[in-house]
Amino acid sequence: MNKAKIGIFGGSGFYSLFTEKKDFEAGTKYGKPSAAVSIGKIGAKDVAFMPRHGAKHVLPPYRVPYKANIAAFKEACVERIIGPCAAGSLQPDVKPGDFVICDQLIDRTWGRDDTYFHGPEVAHASFAEPYCPEMRKVAIEACQKLGISYHPKGTVVVINGPRFSTKAESRWYSSQGWEVINMTQYPESILAREMEMCYLNISLITDYDAGLEGHPEVKPVTAAEVSKIFASNNERVKKLIAEIVKNMPEKRHCGCGEAMKYARI
């Protein structure tokens, strides 16, 4: 397999990245990944790409083989992961079409295998800051340069899916002050941490979840609307990713590469 220091997961509506690429069917001890790893170039840099739901969106969020996907990127020598995703807004000022560079995460999933350390080796990863600060800084600067409507921080609550929220659930999440709702950010982010890989989330807001309090004209989200909004913004997502990749420092200075150094007892 060719090597690439930066890996990108494609979310809902984002299934391809390169016009010229080499595909590799990665086999890992954690099973088969969602799709082949594609290696191509963004500018002068080799980059790996994989659609997390599969090339034809055949995997619901709770069945994405997160451990195999991260392991496949690790085999390709990926050090940094960019994880764009379609997401809902929980706050009126976070509008469809906006990007949110998340800095925090709330896990509301269940039953997902979220660690590589099931014993006899046991480790407890620090997850106080779930997203790489160095990558977030580059992403924020890229949004500013491109004139993209963005939010420099935000908390994403990750639900199990595949169903969307009830109005009561959405109201609760909003009341906590959380900005974004999604189904795939966990355990993808913590598994990257356990592999000592940097991880960046870019949430593209496609909807207002179960609607917007006080605005009856804002209807609850549908899968068709998510796909439509993300597809119409695909070029913006790719342009932002290209700018981030171009400006990413060659060497890491964030500490993510030693995340597990003191995790074992």
Domains of the chain, by residue range, sit at: 6-258
Name which of 180, 168, 171, 204 is nearest 130 in CA terms.
Answer: 180
For residue 47, what pLDDT is reported?
95
Pair type for strands 150-151 and 180-182: unpaired
23 φ, ψ to 5°? Answer: -100, 140
Q: Specify the CATH class of 6-258 in words.
A: alpha beta
Name which of 12, 174, 147, 152 is nearest 89 in CA terms.
Answer: 174
Name which of 34, 19, 127 is nearest 72 in CA terms.
Answer: 34
Catalytic residues: 207, 209
Give the list of residues 6+ apart from residue 90 with CB closer than 8 angstroms, or none: 157, 170, 173, 174, 178, 179, 180, 181, 209
Q: Is 28 left (phi over 0), alpha (psi -120 to 50) or beta?
A: beta
For residue 265, what pLDDT is reported?
84
For residue 154, what pLDDT is reported?
98
For residue 214, what pLDDT is reported?
67
For residue 205, what pLDDT is reported?
94
Digit-by-digit pLDDT tens for the chain (265 residues) are 678 999 999 877 787 788 788 988 878 999 999 999 999 999 999 999 999 999 889 999 999 999 999 999 999 999 999 999 999 999 999 999 999 999 999 999 999 999 999 999 999 999 999 999 999 999 999 999 999 999 999 999 999 999 999 999 999 999 999 999 999 999 999 999 999 999 999 999 999 988 776 667 777 878 887 777 777 788 899 999 999 999 999 999 999 999 999 999 8
